[in-house]
Each structure stands twice: as structure tokens, then as C-alpha cells.
Chain A
Amino acid sequence: MTVISRLVFWLLMLCVSLSITPASATEPEQDEAPWSLTELMHGLAQVKNSKATFVERKHLSMLTTPLSFSGTLEYTAPDRLVKHTLLPKSEKLTLNQDKLVVQSGDASGSRTLSLQEYPAIWAFVESIRSTLAGDIETLNRFYNVSLEGHQKQWLLKLRPVDSKIKNLVNEILIKGSFDQINTIEIREAGGDYSVMSISRDDS
């Protein structure tokens, strides 16, 4: 390490980059998890591997018609999730630990995001991944979690804890039966919402 490259380092320290919205994560809420939630999470945690197809419809107030997407989902316990959108355009999102790799179909290369730097995206992906993993601790970090219904037809409600994420999302509703997720509905602030229907490939 030379004096001069040290100097240039200090120059570059000024060149610390911008991030779009790094928001702060907050303290986990110490809600008493109901016994049934514990049981649901335990059941979900038993699934080590699953494949599914999805159809997602996004209703945005700025658009006259909803956007729809379809593709496949693949989960490998405990923390790998691949969302491969096939229509209308190919795009592959690979979530591995705290990295999100985005690959567009049109050869423009791939991009890697660190979730730590994008708390809003992190909160989104954890709503799905941690639910699949039955990881109530991580869910609690981002959301107030409540459970309705019964084993055969349950509804998991996630409400963001962090005020910045609250400004973006009102709640996330996850419906399922036993250890399967059937739909994920994201209700954004301002009335926009999206519904993703998931059907597991049992073949």
C-alpha cells in the first residue's frame, strides 16, 4: 500500500455511490406467535425442494390494463429461490442467500444486487422465501405476521414493520393449504395490487 494509492483511495472515498432507497431495517417485533402459526411454519420447513408454475397479474392504477406474467418457480431449502418468467419476456431472478441475480432474456447480461442495499426488495423476496422455508424469525423481522383459517385453507397476513416499506406496501396475503402455497397477493399503498397464483408440479 503506497502513500499515493492511499491518497487516491481517499479521493475515491468521496465517490461513494448512491443507492435508490436504502431504508433501515428495524427491530423484530416480539409477537407471541400462535401455536397454529408455529405448526404451519414447522410443516412448511419440512419441504426441502419444490417446483411450481405461476401466473401473476399486476393491477396498476397508471395502466389501463393489468400486466400479466407467467413462468416457473423453483425452491431449494433453505435459501435458494429461482423465479423464471417466460412470458411476455424471458427474465430469470435467482435468489441465493443475500444476493439477487437478475438475468434478462435479451442478452444484456446479468446484474447482481445485494439485498442489504435494497431493503424494500429484500422485504419482498423474504415474504416468499421465508414463508417457503418456514422461517418465522426472518418473517418477524420484516412483518407483523398473523394467521387465519385452518390447516386445509389458511391465510397468512404480513404487514410491513418498517415505515418506509409501509409507504410502499400495505400488506401481503399468502393463501395455501397444508404445506403448499396457492396464491400470493401483494397490496401496495395507493391501491395497486398483484396476485400470483401458484400450482405445484407434483409430477
Chain B
Amino acid sequence: MKRINQRWPIAAWLIFLAFCVFLVSRIQIGADINAFLPSSPTPAQRLLTEQLRDGIVSRLILAGIDGGTPETLAKASKNLAHRLHNEPAFSMANNGEESSLDKDQAYIFDNRYLLSSAVTLGHFTPEVLHGSLERALQLLGSPAGVMIKNIIPRDPSGELLHLLEGFTGQSRPPMQEGVWMSRDGKRALLVLQTAAAGYNIDAQQQAIQLILKCFAESTQGPEFSGLHIQLTGPGVFSVESRNHVENVAFNFSIITAILVSILLLLVYRSWRVLAISLLPVISGALAGIAAVSMGYGVVFGVTLGFGITLIGEAVDYAIYFFTHLSPEKPPSKALENIWPTLRLGVLTTICGFSPMFLADFPGLAQLGLFSAVGLIVAVLVTRWVLPSLVPANFSPNTPVRLTALIMKLIKQAPRLRPLVLIAVIAAVLSIALHRDPVWSDSLSSLFPISEAKQQLDQTLRNDLGAPDVRYLIAISGNDREEVLERSEAVGSQLDILTYKQILVGYDSPVRYLPSQKTQQARQAALPDEEQLRAYLKQALAGLPFRSDLFEPFLKEVAAARSQPLLTPDSLHGTNLGLQTESLLAHYDKGWKAMLPLRGVTDASSIRKALARSDGSIVLLDLKQESDSLYQSYVREAITLSAFGALAITLLLFISLRSVRRVAAVLLPLAAAVIIATAIVLASGQKLLIFHLVGLLLAVAVGSNYSLFFDRESNAEMQESDSKRTMVSLLVANIATIFGFGMLSFSGVPVLTAIGETVAIGAFLSLLFSAVLMGRKISQ
């Protein structure tokens, strides 16, 4: 009977593990960028996040080649671009070469009479045409004359120049040696677009490898020696952060596991025990990932990286178990004494993390679910599976001297009380008087991307001469035509504001794809061939142009009158098509257009000019949007942590039923949290949401310590039992500090934040528990 009782949990555990392994083997790793986008966005945020998740933008890769003379860089850039043109994995490979713009120029020139806003009734009357011809004459005399003289017979009314003037204020990448190059000539630049969607990280990774391969193949030979290629972009970030987090998770799990194993070997001197004590950790991590995968469909790299932090906490349970083994009682009874305390510790942890499930910030929600499930499974495995697996009469032999020393230190610890009090006061003061903002203020601080990578991105973008855009007009409507017509209306208002110098310029999808109505109106404004011929004859009076020069003009206007209207298909294969597609998007509820503004000097008068009651036209301040998004995450994290703290306090009241004991348990934790926060700030960092998660985890780990101290100081205990508990706490603490301390060297900002706060917080929790409650131990 007893045997069967012991076997059931193992069988259940094995089935559960198999199920978890099955789920984990099928997990989909999500692009980390999504971990930071709100799950219930405002309409404004939705527009942006949808683009970021699977829009055209998410498919862009920016490449920089450096390490050579401008001539070599240009050659390498051309070689690479030509190779990538033939790769179906890329829908665009643009390095600024004229050939890559041929189609765009052809589109604009061939469709100039449908695209030009100057084409209105009266545009071709003799007086207006005469003025256009005089301007053409002036241009012919300028240095640009040689370039435009071939188009004057086709375009005497100057539609091409009018269209190009619309680009005023638009930044262009600097050119050198016929390709895009940074101003100092040290880096050639390419803009690539993958055919696969940005959220498809595997495809993005293949695309990146293909770029590197093509680059290596196209730059063989001594003239190219020393050239490097660097890549940046949303897809690159996703791939790199996934790989980086995976690497960190893997390497640091191994390092931590080795360190913890050495520690456990020193204490238990048994390989078998060592192997067994890692089972709760592994089971917990598997269950955590499986739960997130089931709950959210995708697992973010950050969550996976966080998995290793569980080692520090979950291995504690096994340590408590093994330290309490003794020859006098069977393994299954070992935990009986401490089980109520351990159970309370786990419940405390779960109380702390549960509110995180509710977070609108998906990264935070996943971490909460992962921790709670992982820890529950780890403790259950420790309680019901481990006892069946240990050798029958195993008992760890703790060195007598060491134990004696620990007990002596613990009894002396309360002498430090004044010091701790001073430290807490100093910490509170230093937080209160902290001059810089306490919280990191930008959303990008949450990115699991190293500082160096973020800087590279900034540098390449600066090289391309693309300024950050702050203002954007979002226009929505029921169908494409409605959105285009509204964009045209907004455009004419913006033209007036541009003339008043309230902004420098703007981009709009209607620049390359006017609404059908507008195109029809322009066609209707074109005079028929006979009429135009008559107008032209009058317009030419007094000008030195040859009389038969403008036959091509007459023919092309006649053709434009009956040409089919432009549709998105007409733009197929051009860079302009990509641009239009990125500014005009179809969503489940309708269509949206985005008009980025340049050089805005007075946002409020733009807002006033555009004010519409139905909310179909919105001026977005992106900086404000993203700041407020981040602020809402911070507020949410603080609120949820407060709820967690409240839940922990309530739980302790219900279990301990004594204000004094609750205070004794919570005080060391509070002191540890305050001082850990002060240390992080004093080291010159700003707090991230993940520091808060780290503090929460420190409270979870630390509550085990203080609860054990509370137990020892409030119950009649055998001295040997007390000693065991104290040794197990010390070993557990060292294991935790190893696990989290290592993580603070990971180089991933998010993981570093968690690692350092937990390592400091957990150590201080143990120390302060001893300081506050040490005197009462085994008196």
C-alpha cells in the first residue's frame, strides 16, 4: 500500500513532464518587440503596433558596410545589391544607385498629368503656358539645363519639377561614388526589405544569413579585405535578441548549474542527491514555459531568459528538503516539520506574482504566469516526488564546526540592529533626494537589446540622414477612396500651413496614388489635342522655341486624357509602391492613411486647423504617445506590485494571526527592498519595470528566509532541527546569489536588472532576518 502511495506521484509527475516536454517542443518564440506592445492599445497605438507587428516596416533591414575607401565600399555595396536583387527572399534591395530608382522615375514622369496637383482647369491656357515656357527657358540657361533639356519638349508645363518640389524638406541620404554613403565616406548604406513578414523570426534569420553569405561571396579578393557589414532593423533586433537571450539563457543556466552543483556537492557529497535536487528546477521551468505557451500562444525570448532565474529560487526547495533529511526518519517525513512554513513561503510568492497576470504589458504578464506556475510545480515535485527518489538512509553530514560558527554568527547578528536602522534611513534619504529621475523614461529601455546595438541603429539612421519623426496625421475611413479623398483634403490644408512656415513638409500616399475622383478631375482638366495646339501656338508668341518642338507634349497630353486611372497595382515593383503601401493600410474596420510631418514648429495650430468632430483625422504626437504608453506600463507595474504586497500582507495575517509576527516577517524584507533600490540608483542606473519584478522576486525568495526565522523563534524546536534549518537557509541563499548574481553579468539589460536586484535583495533579506530575529533562535 505504502509503495503504491509512493509511486502514484512519480507516475503523475512523469506524465506531466512528458506533456510539458511535448508542449515545449512545439513552442513558438515570439518577436520580442511584441512583448512591449500593449495588448489593449488605444486606436492611435493600434495603428502603430499593427505596422510594427506585421506591417511593411517590420520587414526592413538597414545595412552598413565599412572598413575601406569610399571606392571600395561603393563597389561592395553595388555587388551586394546586385546579388540580393536576384534573391526571392528580398522584395527590395536599394543602395541609392540610379538603376534602383529607374522604375520610380518612370512612374512619376509617365503619369505626371494624373499626379500633378498643378493640373487644374486653366493650367494650359495660353497665358499660364507662356509663363511655364519662360521658366523652362530660364532653366535651360542654368547648369541644370543640360539635364532637363531632353524633357522640355515632353513637359513644357513643368509637371515633373512641380512634383519634385513636393519633396522639399524630405531628407535624402548623402550620395558618394553613386551609392548612399555616410557624409564622412566611411560607410556605404543599403536599405533592404525581406519578402517574409517581420514576426516570422526564422525567416528573418534566414534573410540575415543570406545577406551575410552574399556579402562574403561578393567581397572576395584582396581589394575588399577589411570590409565589415553591420545590420539593423526590427527583424534584426528580433533575431538578435532571440539568439542573445537564448544564448544567455543557455550559457548562464550551465554556469549557474555548475556553481550550484559544486555547492551542493560540497554540502551533500553525493552525485545522486545532486542530480535529484535539480529535478524541481527542471520540472518548474518546463511547466512554466508550457503554461505560457498554452496561455499566450507565443513565448517571448525575455520570458525564456527569465526561466533561468527560477533556478535560484526552485533549487532552494530541494536544499530545504535535503538538509532536513536525517537517519531517524524516512525521507517522506523529512519535510513534514517545515512544510507549513515552506507552503506559506510558496503562497507568498504566488500572491506577489499573481497580479502581474492582469498586466496590459504582455512581457510582464508572461513573467508573472511563468514564475507562479514554475514555483508551484517545483515545490510540489520537492514535496511529493523527491522523497521517493532519495537513497533510503541518506543524511547530509554538515560539518560541525561550520554549523557552530553559523549559529554563533546568527546569535550575534542582532547587534547590527542600529547599523541596519542607519542603513535604511540613509537609503530612504538617498532615494528621496535622488536628483535624476528615478524611473527610466523611455520605452526602448525595455528592449532586450544591448546599448551597443541601439547605438549602431542610431548611427546608421543618422548616416542616412533620416531625422526622428515626431508628428503624424492618422486619417481613417471606410474604404480606400474615402481615406485618399480625406488625405487630399488634409494635404491642401497642410500646403497652406507649409506656406505659413508652420511645417516644412509632409508625406502622403496621395502623392503617388491620388483618389480616383481627383484623377478623373485632372483628366477632365486636360484640353483636347486641337485646343491644346491652339493654346500652345499663342503661348509660344515671342519665345525662341522652335515651332514643332512640342509635338511629344501634345501627344502625351492626349494619351493622358484617356489613360486608365492609377491603382495600387500601377505602383507594383516600385519603391514608391512600398512607400504608399506603408502610408496606406487596410484594417479589419476600414482603411487608414498616415501622413508624417516634417519640421513642425507649431503643433497646436495644426491641430486646430485639422479639428474634426468625428475623429477620423487625428494628429499624433509620437513622442507623447510612446512616453504615455511607457508611463502607463510603469504605473501598472507599480499598482500591480502594490496589490501583490497587499496580498502578501493579508496572507501572512491570515496564517500567522499576529501583528507582531507579520511585522517581524515583513520588516527585514522591506529593509532589503529599500536598500537594494538605493544601491541600484546609487550605481547610476534608472529603474526599469524589470527592477520592480526583481524586487518582487527578492521578496518572494526573502520571505522564505524570514518565515523560517519566524518559525524558529516562535516554536519549541530541537536544537538539531534549528541548526539544519539555518544551514539550509545559508546554502539556499548562496545558491540564489550564484544564480541571480551571474545573471547581472548577462549583458541583456532586462536580465541584468532582475539579476542584480534579486541577488542584493535576497542576501539582505537573510541578513536582516538574522539581525531582527536571530536572538530568539534556539534559546
Residues of chain A having any CB pair with chain B under 8 Å: 1-25, 27, 56, 58, 60-65, 67, 69, 85, 89, 91, 93, 100, 102, 114, 116-121, 124-125, 164, 168-169, 188, 192
Name the prevailing secondary structure of the A interface residues.
mixed
Expressed in whole angstroms, the minimum distance between the Cβ of A72 and any Cβ of chain B is 16
Would you call B626 and A17 a contact (CB within 8 A)? no
B 125-150 binary contact with A (CB < 8 Å = 1; else 0): 00000000000011011111111110
What chain B residues lie within 8 Å of A12 (beta carbons)? 466, 469, 507, 596
Establish whether residues A7 and B177, one from each chain, have CB atoms under 8 Å apart when the complex forms. no
Given contacts A2-B623, A16-B191, contact A102 B142 (CB under 8 A): yes
Which residues from B are CB-within-8-Å of A3? 33, 36, 52, 443-444, 447, 626
A4 touches B626 (CB 8 A): yes
6 more CB-based (< 8 A) A-B contacts, given A11-B594, A18-B105: A2-B623, A7-B57, A24-B97, A63-B140, A67-B544, A120-B147
B626 & A2 in contact (Cβ 8 Å cutoff): yes
Among B57, B146, B172, B191, which residue has the most Cβ atoms of chain A within 10 A? B146
* A91 to B143 alpha-carbon distance, docked (Å): 12
Contact B594 A13 (CB under 8 A): no
A124 to B153, CA, bound (A): 23
Task: Give chain B interface residues in 568-611, CB to chain A under 8 Å.
Answer: 575, 578-579, 582-583, 594, 596
B396 CB within 8 Å of chain A:
no
Least CB distance, A126 to chain B, in whole angstroms: 11
Q: Are B101 and A13 in contact (CB under 8 A)?
A: no
Please tell me if B348 contacts chain A, counting CB pairs below 8 Å: no
Q: A5-B622, A64-B546 are in contact. Are A13 and B62 (CB under 8 A)?
A: yes
A60 and B469 contact, Cβ closer than 8 Å, known pairs A1-B442, A15-B170: no
Residues of chain B with a CB closer than 8 A to A14's CB: 56-57, 60, 575, 578-579, 582
Which among B36, B98, B141 has the greatest number of chain A C-beta atoms within 10 A?
A: B141
Complexed CA–CA distance, A91 and B138 (Å) = 10
Is B470 part of the binding interface, using a Cβ–Cβ cutoff of 8 Å?
Answer: yes
Q: Contact check: which of A6, A58, A102 meets B457 at CB < 8 Å?
A: A6
The complex places the Cα of A124 from the Cα of B146 at a distance, in Å, of 10
Tally inter-chain residue pairs, CB-CB below 8 A.
184
Q: Is the CB of A17 within 8 A of B172?
A: yes
Q: Mark B617-637, 1 if CB is under 8 A from A, else 0.
A: 000001101110110000000
Contact A62 B466 (CB under 8 A): no
A63 touches B233 (CB 8 A): no
What residues of chain A lie closer than 8 Å to B48, measured between beta carbons? 4, 7-8
Could you tell me the distance in whole angstroms from the C-beta of B709 to the nearest C-beta in chain A?
Answer: 44
CB-nearest residue of chain A relative to B160? A20
Set of chain B residues within 8 Å of A69, measured between Cβ atoms: 141
The answer to whether B98 and A24 have CB atoms under 8 Å apart is yes
CB-defined A-B contacts under 8 Å, sample of 11: A1-B442, A2-B623, A3-B444, A6-B234, A7-B57, A7-B234, A8-B469, A14-B582, A25-B177, A118-B147, A188-B146
Give A131 to B461 CA distance when docked, in angstroms. 37
Give the contacting residue for A27; candidates B71, B142, B148, B454; CB below 8 A.
Answer: B71
CB-based contact B622/A4 at 8 Å: yes
Chain B residues with CB below 8 A from A62, complex form? 149, 152-153, 545-546, 549
A5 to chain B, nearest CB (A): 5
Q: Which residues of B contact A85 (CB under 8 A)?
A: 141
